[in-house]
Chains A and B, each alone.
Chain A
Amino acid sequence: MLDFVQQLVSGVALGCVYGLIALGFVLVYKATEVVNFAQGDLMMLGGFFAFTFIGMMGLNYWIGFAGAVAAMALFGMVAERVVVRPILGYPQFSIIMVTIGLGYFLRSIAGMIWGTDDLKIETPFSQGVLRMGSLVLAYDKLSVIAATMILCTLLWLFFNKTTLGTAMRASSENMLAAYYMGIPVKRVVSIVWAISAAVATCAGVLLAPITFIHSNVGLVLGLKAFPAAVLGGFGSIPGAVVGGVLIGVIESMAGFYLPEGWKDVAPYLVLLAVLLLKPEGLFGLHVRKKV
């Protein structure tokens, strides 16, 4: 039983990281119908930025964190402007390829700049553990869970309660119509990319104590975040986090109870099953065109 709870908590913590990356996918998808295959690599880059600020320049953790988030938000905007905007609206295949190319590029560049070693960030949470009876929970895992909940709530509020959020939803439905209604579509898209890169950075920094940062971490975790996003239904913010948590728990349980090898396959089997049985995901909108 204790094992089970322990696995559950670490699964949820890992799942929250998947959820945070999936959130990035979902934000961009919600606003522009683009799936950003480089989301995991943005996360990796954010982690490296934070490492540079905190580990190499010796700044305070929180200042470094904020600096990394700001830098990555700017980077997200630049990436959107340079790479994605020229082909916005073209077949999804082209956009997927562009983001895959961007991911490749970021991965190699990060490998060139920061080397290929595993890096670690010292965080205020990395030492302590919370003991509840015989249950031991590490603070860094709990911090991931807490941060995910906060971010998720903020984003949900942003999308549903603010004018800018409404503008984003409108421009995702039909850009031209939104443009005619006076929504600055280009600026909206830029802001979405900035937010999504910032969220990815949060994921990267929070993840740093758990899995370390190296140049391929984005690819590995990004691929795990797809099942999360699909499970929750692309385009749903709570869905992304719930999907992420489910994938994390499934992975953690499969790693513990099933023979070796299932751990890596289980998320994808679940993904295929979901795609077959309920392609719109758990929280996806089921829209039907009425004629």
Chain B
Amino acid sequence: MRFLFKTDYEDDIKLFPHSGYVVSYGILIALLLIAPHVLSSYVMSQLVFVCIYAIVGVALLILTGFTGQASLGHAAFLAIGAYTAAYLQKYNVPFPVYFLAAGALTGFIGALVGFPALRLTGIYLVIATISFALIVEEILARWESVTHGNEGMRVKTLSLLGVAVPRDSPTFYYLCLAVLVLTIVGTLNLLRSPTGRAFVAIRDSETAARSMGVNVALYKVKSFAISAAITGFAGVLFAHKLSFISPEMFTLQLSIEFIIVILIGGTFSLHGAVLGAIFIVMIDPFLTYLKDDMPGIIAGIAAAFGAGTATAAEIQSKVAAFASLNGLKGAIYGIIIVLFVLFEPLGLYGRWLKIKLFFQLFPLYKRATFKRQKIYVKSERNR
């Protein structure tokens, strides 16, 4: 293990604290680059979704994790990005232009949403962003001259510099990966800049930030705009990956999924966004696995433990019936959210940190290191 002794400001803002980071991230990037030549197309498709969810997760982290502004409206930003891309594409606008335009428009709308947020905190902000998302959803369904209403819009194949990039091709995956890496590096840089520090200051204490001279209003709006813009970029990729968009894809459910991404990953680190994205994308294959293979396996185990063939078949059919229940995914989501908030508030990345700390401090690790303290409710009403 290696102790990091930070002796001056330069040490505190390093992008890579020590060479170990460079090596491990380098290996990760190299593995991701050779992935399309090794893995099956289904896995690659999942990886693209991981990239897209991770981009949105990073965007949401900037807002929720680092500025402390909760938002349940990010599906709307994703929708705006996707629809801008689909609309501009009809007029043969080249990809780089509409990619940037989608980000700019979404960022602008995000700033507009940020203004009401100046007066709202906590629960009111959540409700305001939910209503914003519902309004956007309704507009997408009704503004038929632009969005084609509930029929949805086709998104043509992406063409980059005159070369077609189909949504299943490795190039598209590289594009998503590049956007993700750029987003992460950009966010890291943002967070060590004065802007990012102002964000964190606002999260920790608005009053303290204000008294230190941080223009709270400006930075809150900025945070909304940046987060929305990044989500808009993700929206463009999302539209191209799905090749068809319609209003019912961008519901509150999707916003909640994004929140789950950062909640499960951990709301204090960018690693969390990526881990959470992997987790949420893996749920679908997991359910498929549960449906297809699990009944047989469980029946096999039952048979091995001395149950007769008849009972084994019975168990198999019961498990199969359970796995193909309609709302299973929703129930799993619900349980996951509750369990994570209750038992692992730091998320998957927090778990990793705990494991790491355990090995670093091996004989001296205290079990209570991460234990939550008892807190009593104090009214926020008369702040």
Q: List the interface of chain A (C-beta within 8 A of B).
A: 32-33, 35, 83, 86-90, 92-94, 96-98, 100-109, 111-112, 116, 171-176, 179, 215, 219, 223, 226-227, 230, 234-235, 260-261, 264-265, 268-269, 271-272, 275-276, 279, 285, 287-289
Partner among B330, B333, B375, B383 whose Cβ is within 8 Å of the Cβ of A90: B375
B23 cross-chain contacts in A, Cβ below 8 A:
none
A-contacting residues, B326-383, CB 8 Å: 326-331, 333-338, 341-342, 345, 372, 374-383
Contact B123 A174 (CB under 8 A): no
Contact B334 A103 (CB under 8 A): yes
Partner among B131, B327, B342, B372 whose Cβ is within 8 Å of the Cβ of A111: B327
Partner among B64, B134, B141 whose Cβ is within 8 Å of the Cβ of A93: B64
Q: List the interface of chain B (C-beta within 8 A of A).
A: 64, 70, 116, 119-120, 122-124, 126-128, 130-132, 134-135, 138-139, 141-142, 252, 256, 259, 263, 325-331, 333-338, 341-342, 345, 372, 374-383
Contact A98 B376 (CB under 8 A): no
Q: How far is the CB of A40 from chain B (nearest CB, A)?
A: 12
From A103, which residue of chain B is reached at the shortest CB distance?
B334
Contact B132 A272 (CB under 8 A): yes
Contact A101 B335 (CB under 8 A): yes
Q: How far is the CB of A275 from chain B (nearest CB, A)?
A: 5
B336 cross-chain contacts in A, Cβ below 8 A:
101
Q: Say whether, besides A104-B330, A104-B334, A108-B330, A94 and B341 are in contact (CB < 8 Å).
A: yes
Contact B382 A289 (CB under 8 A): yes
Contact A105 B335 (CB under 8 A): yes
Contact A223 B130 (CB under 8 A): yes
24 contacts between A and B (CB under 8 A): A83-B342, A88-B375, A89-B376, A92-B380, A93-B64, A93-B70, A100-B256, A100-B259, A100-B337, A104-B330, A104-B331, A108-B327, A109-B327, A111-B327, A112-B328, A174-B377, A176-B376, A223-B130, A223-B134, A261-B138, A264-B134, A265-B134, A272-B116, A275-B124
Q: Say whether, besides A100-B256, A175-B378, A287-B382, A276 and B328 are in contact (CB < 8 Å).
A: no
Partner among A93, A235, A268, A276 whose Cβ is within 8 Å of the Cβ of B119: A276
A215 cross-chain contacts in B, Cβ below 8 A:
327
Partner among A90, A98, A279 whose Cβ is within 8 Å of the Cβ of B338: A98
Q: How far is the CB of B292 from chain A (nearest CB, A)?
A: 20
B377 cross-chain contacts in A, Cβ below 8 A:
32-33, 88-89, 171-172, 174-175
From A219, which residue of chain B is reached at the shortest CB distance?
B252
Partner among B142, B334, B376, B379 whose Cβ is within 8 Å of the Cβ of A105: B334
B342 cross-chain contacts in A, Cβ below 8 A:
83, 86-87, 98
A93 cross-chain contacts in B, Cβ below 8 A:
64, 70, 122, 126
Q: How far is the CB of A39 from chain B (nearest CB, A)?
A: 13
Partner among B70, B326, B341, B379 whose Cβ is within 8 Å of the Cβ of A174: B379
Q: Which 5 A-B pairs have the closest CB atoms?
A: A101-B337, A105-B334, A108-B327, A104-B334, A89-B375
From B123, which residue of chain A is reached at the shortest CB distance?
A35
A32 cross-chain contacts in B, Cβ below 8 A:
377
A104 cross-chain contacts in B, Cβ below 8 A:
256, 330-331, 333-334, 337
Contact B338 A96 (CB under 8 A): no
B331 cross-chain contacts in A, Cβ below 8 A:
104-105, 108-109, 112
Partner among B70, B330, B376 whose Cβ is within 8 Å of the Cβ of A96: B70
Contact A265 B135 (CB under 8 A): yes
**Considering the chains assembled together, what is the distance between the CA atoms of A111 and B330 in angstroms?**
10
**Considering the chains assembled together, what is the distance between the CA atoms of A219 and B127 in angstroms?**
14
B341 cross-chain contacts in A, Cβ below 8 A:
87, 94, 97-98, 101
Contact B337 A269 (CB under 8 A): no
Contact A275 B116 (CB under 8 A): yes
